[in-house]
Amino acid sequence: TRTPVNVTVTGAAGQIGYALLFRIASGQLLGADVPVRLRLLEITPALKAAEGTAMELDDCAFPLLQGIDISDDPNVAFDGANVALLVGARPRTKGMERGDLLEANGGIFKPQGQAINGHAADDIKVLVVGNPANTNALIAQAAAPDVPAERFTAMTRLDHNRALTQLAKKTGSTVADIKRLTIWGNHSATQYPDIFHATVAGKNAAEVVNDEKWLADDFIPTVAKRGAAIIEARGASSAASAANAAIDHVHTWVNGTADGDWVSMGIPSDGSYGVPEGLISSFPVTTKDGKYEIVQGLDINEFSRARIDASVKELEEEREAVRSLGLI
């Protein structure tokens, strides 16, 4: 029998946690033949709720689930972690300035980065879901100098998936027909969903659409503001689709992209496409054998350049802000 993979999930008692844990335990994160051990991290007042979720996980009798540990101590929860999903974060509350938001999240992601540095397994892969995801990933990464920087990633797969469906609807196709779509930049309202390199049933998506006004005034804002639209409709934020995207992100990272296709991941820039080195920004990536690579050589037109630059500028400002707070 295989040794189980340790998967640490923070914010385990939250909405995304509830939509995520059962799918991890059923084998959808890593593969239907990979046993897992769940390590749940919560803040002390939410430990009881996490225990309730663990009871339900027990009651599913998942054959792949080899155990569940629950802790409010990051040093315990990240001990031996092979995969870490950092979901718990401090949300922006009314009247909160960006500086306060970044500082509050620094208080979460810095100690978690330190705990990962000190206790995680050598092959640790980290996905940050909790917002502001890109900059939270940067904070955790900076606190983990002994972990290779590229193991810290931020989630833009939900944006990617949202864009796939919007494009499929517009073109009367299905998501399975669409390849090579890209989300660039920050997981925020400035993100840029790029269809210029995408294909719909093998044809260039921008040519199939042939409607720059739709792109600028409909597609891009619909994808970027989808989170707010879900809250407006459901009265609660997107949890199942966010959990689904987290599953997709890690599954692709571990198991590879399909031939001729790519996905979007927030990853430390190597300077590609003019994105300053070290910023955790979304790029088109292919993955193989547990490693990812940025897709190189794409022509970036003027329309795309301006939008990528605007989102990257926001990431630089966030990096400056956490730098001046001493968080990185």
Binding site for ligand NAI (CB under 6 A): 10-11, 13-17, 41-43, 46, 87-89, 91, 108, 129-131, 133, 155, 158, 187, 237-239, 242
The C-alpha atoms of residue 93 and residue 96 are separated, in whole angstroms, by 6
Active site residue 187: yes
The C-alpha atoms of residue 72 and residue 79 are separated, in whole angstroms, by 13
Helix (H, G, I), strand (E, B) or coil at 59: helix
The response to whether 129 counts as a known ligand-binding position is yes
Cis peptide before 132 (omega within 30 of 0): yes
Closer residue to ligand NAI in complex, CB, 90/307 = 90
The response to whether 226 counts as a known ligand-binding position is no
Closer residue to ligand NAI in complex, CB, 35/193 = 193
The response to whether 98 counts as a known ligand-binding position is yes
Q: Which residue has the tokens 């998942």?
A: 62
Closer residue to ligand NAI in complex, CB, 108/215 = 108
Sign for the pseudo-dihedral over CA of 315, 228, 129, 160: negative
Per the CB < 8 A criterion, the answer to whether 30 and 254 are in contact is yes
Minimal distance, residue 163 CB to ligand NAI, in Å: 12
Minimal distance, residue 135 CB to ligand NAI, in Å: 12
- Tokens coding 268: 């430390």
Minimal distance, residue 41 CB to ligand NAI, in Å: 5
Which of 119, 160, 187, 197 is catalytic? The answer is: 187
Burial of 177 by CB count in 10 Å (0-12 exposed, 13-18 middle, 19+ buried)?
middle
Amino acid at 153: T
The response to whether 323 counts as a known ligand-binding position is no
Q: Residue 319 contacts by C-beta under 8 Å, 6 or more apart in sequence?
A: 135, 138, 278, 279, 328
For the chain, what is the radius of gyration of the CA atoms?
A: 19
Minimal distance, residue 298 CB to ligand NAI, in Å: 23
Closer residue to ligand NAI in complex, CB, 10/182 = 10
The response to whether 54 counts as a known ligand-binding position is no
9 to each of 53, 116, 216, how far by Cα in Å?
12, 12, 37
The sheet with strand 203-204 has its strands ordered as 178-179, 199-200, 203-204
Closer residue to ligand NAI in complex, CB, 11/268 = 11
Minimal distance, residue 113 CB to ligand NAI, in Å: 12
Helix (H, G, I), strand (E, B) or coil at 31: coil
The response to whether 141 counts as a known ligand-binding position is no
Q: Which residue is nearest to ligand NAI (CB)?
A: 14
Minimal distance, residue 258 CB to ligand NAI, in Å: 22
Backbone angles phi and psi of 109, in degrees to 5: -80, -25
Angle formed by the axes of helices 157-171 and 240-255, nearest 10°: 100
The response to whether 105 counts as a known ligand-binding position is yes
Closer residue to ligand NAI in complex, CB, 115/124 = 115
The C-alpha atoms of residue 129 and residue 122 are separated, in whole angstroms, by 21
> Annotated binding site for NAD(+), which residues?
11-17, 105, 112, 129-131
Q: Which residues are annotated as a binding site for substrate?
A: 92, 98, 131, 162
Q: Which residues are catalytic?
A: 187
Numbered residues of the known binding site: 11-17, 92, 98, 105, 112, 129-131, 162
